[in-house]
Amino acid sequence: MSTIDLTPASYRPAPSGDFDPSAPDHHPHGSPVRRVLGMARANTVLLMRNRMTFAYAVFLPLVPLALLFASERGAETAGISALANVVMLSAIFPVYYNLLSLTVTRRDELVLKRLRTGESTDREILASMALPGVVVLLAIVLLSVPLAAALGQPLPHNGVVLAVGALLVAAAFAGLAFWTAAWTKNAEAAQLTSMPVILVAIVGSLWAILPERIQPFLEWTPGAALDALVRIGWFGQETDGAAVSFVDSFAAAGQPLVTLAVWAVVAASLAARSMRWEPRG
């Protein structure tokens, strides 16, 4: 069979090559970044290899922009709704659903259990799974800037507010994905168990058509917070339509950003309490 023997000499780490300390390597072996990126790379390959998930993750979030073709060029209401939906669909598909099915599948394949026997910490393993979806979300938001501009929409009014909002919504839905995975029996069951979170995600965007009595509650949903952030951060408008300056937009974004931060913290704590590393059985 093999020609390599495990002689004592072969067993010691090689002095050069892989271990050359002078090699220009920003993330040497043994560093957390190296481990997270290495595992995230494999997760990205898996995401791209599953064509259905990949199509959902990358193309579906862009559909609302396509719908802008059908509306009057530069219409603000349509623009705000479309861009808020782009971010929300990115949170739902590449982040939430992809991560949910990845977690359940890899848990059931015993990959998570196996990885935990190695040097990677639990947090690193979780981060490596969330990373590809979060990167897709950020890329889609970035891509939306020129696409929306081409369709007559303005450039973002306050990019910082938008970026922080996008990161918070990604964190919240990543946490919710790990939490949902904890009580999802297998990959097929994820189609059903994902429903409650997806409902919570979209209910906030439906505020305009829901009864007035429940409106105060809707303000605290991630969907409503995203809607407000797109309105403030991209279009420079208060919820009532009044213009807001760049400086004032930070203050105006406070409440929706806090809303998303609360969702992120709650989701992370739910995930931490419920995380399962081995098949449910």
For another protein, the binding residues (CB under 8 A) are: 1-8, 10-14, 17-19, 29-30, 34-35, 37-39, 41-42, 45-46, 49-50, 105-106, 109-121
Complete DSSP assignment for 62-114? GHHHHHGGGSPTT-HHHHHHHHHHHHHHHIIIIIIIHHHHHHHHHHHTTHHHH
Q: How far is the CB of 227 from another protein (least distance, A)?
A: 37
Closest to 178 (Cα-Cα) out of 263, 116, 267, 262: 267
C-beta of 32 vs 167, nearer to another protein: 32
| Residue 164 CA: distances (Å) to CA of 58, 99, 130, 269 | 21, 21, 17, 20
C-beta of 39 vs 92, nearer to another protein: 39
Q: How far is the CB of 24 from another protein (least distance, A)?
A: 17
C-beta of 110 vs 192, nearer to another protein: 110
C-beta of 12 vs 26, nearer to another protein: 12
C-beta of 120 vs 205, nearer to another protein: 120
CB of 109 closer than 8 Å to CB of 187 = no
Q: How far is the CB of 5 from another protein (least distance, A)?
A: 6
How far apart are alpha carbons 196 and 267 in whole angstroms? 14
Query: Coil, strand or helix: which one is 277?
Result: coil
Q: How far is the CB of 14 from another protein (least distance, A)?
A: 8
Q: How far is the CB of 83 from another protein (least distance, A)?
A: 34
**Burial level of 212, CB count in 10 A (0-12/13-18/19+)?**
exposed
In the numeric block, the tokens 């040497």 are attached to: 28
